[in-house]
Amino acid sequence: MKRNKKILVKKYNGKYEPFSEFKLERSLKRVGSSPKVAKEIVKSIKVGLRDGTRTSQIHDQALNLLSQKRAPLSARYNLKQALLALGPSGHTFENFIGEFLKAKGYSVELRQMVMGKCVMHEVDVVARKGQEHVLVEAKFHNHPGFKTDIKTALYVKARFDDIVKSKLRKPHFHKAILITNTKFTQDAIAYAECEGLELIGWNYPAKGSLQEIIETSGLLPVTSLSSLSLVQQRDLLKNGFVLCHDLVNNPMSMKIINATNLQENIILDEASKVCKIK
C-alpha cells in the first residue's frame, strides 16, 4: 500500500518543506485556540492544499477562519505581520520596543547620542530599572524572510565595548541587548553566546522570545487590530499610540482618527479583548 504523498509548501525564503499539520495546529493553540477549533481549521485548510502553496497563503486562510470563530485570537495569530506593519522605517519599531520596556517597569530614552571611548554612538533605546542600565539595539526588517546576521551582532558588541570603556559615561551600561522582529542566523547566535551579547528575536531564545513575551504580556501593537484601517494605524503611531492598551487607557486617542461612536466602541472593545485574552 502506497503512503500518502507529502505536500510541499513554499516558505517566505523561497525554500520548500513538507506541510506539517502538527506545526499549524500548534501555532493555533499557542495563541489560545481550543484543540477542537485548531483541528477544525487544520482540516479545512488541508483540503485545498497543493504542492507549491505558499505558507503566507496558509497563514492568511488560518487567520480568516480563526477570526470567524474568535476575533481577538486572530490578532495574536497575526502578530508577526503586525510587527512588520510597524515599518517601513525602523523608528516605529524602536518606539514599540521603548513602550514595551516602559510597560515592564523600565524608564526609557530613545535614540540617544552616547559618547564612547573612541567615537559618538546613536543608541536606539537606553533602558533603566533600578541599578540596571541597558543598551538596546532594535533591528527592524520589512520582510519575514530576512534574518539579522553576524555583522549586526558584531557592531552592537563593538559599540557596547566602546561605550563601556568611556570614562565620560556614568553610570555604565551593564549589558547590551539586540532585539529583532525576525530571526537570527546561526553565526549571529553562536557569536552572541560566545561574547555574552543578549539576543531576543521572533523565535529566539526558546524561552523568552519576542513572540512569547508579547503573547504572554498582552502588549500587542495597534497594528494587530483588524478594526483599524491602515490610515488609522499610521495616525495613531505618529501620535505616540503604539500598544493596544494605550488605546484602552486613553479613549481620547479615538479623536485622532476621527472615529464615530460606533467605530470607537468596536475598536476599544477589540483592543481590550486583545490585551486581556489568555
Taking only the tens place, the pLDDT of each residue in 225-263 is: 988 999 999 999 999 999 999 999 999 999 999 999 999
- Cα dist from 100 to 86, 218, 276, whole Å: 14, 10, 16
Tell me if 179 sits within 8 A of 198, measured CB to CB.
Answer: no
Tell which residue, 159, 117, 165, has the closest CA to residue 137. Answer: 159
The domains found in the chain, sorted by start residue, are: 8-69 (no CATH), 86-217 (3.40.1350.10), 221-276 (1.10.150)
Three-state DSSP class for residue 137: strand
Residue 71 has a pLDDT of 65
Residue 84's pLDDT band (boundaries 50, 70, 90)?
very high
pLDDT tens digits, residue range 24-71? Answer: 998 888 877 888 888 999 999 988 888 999 998 998 888 888 888 776
Q: At what angle do helices 210-217 and 91-103 cross, to 10 degrees?
A: 50
Rounded-to-integer distance, Cα 100 and Cα 25, Å: 28
Residue 277 pLDDT class (50, 70, 90 cuts): low
Q: How far is CA 264 from CA 120, 149, 233, 239, in A?
A: 45, 42, 14, 17
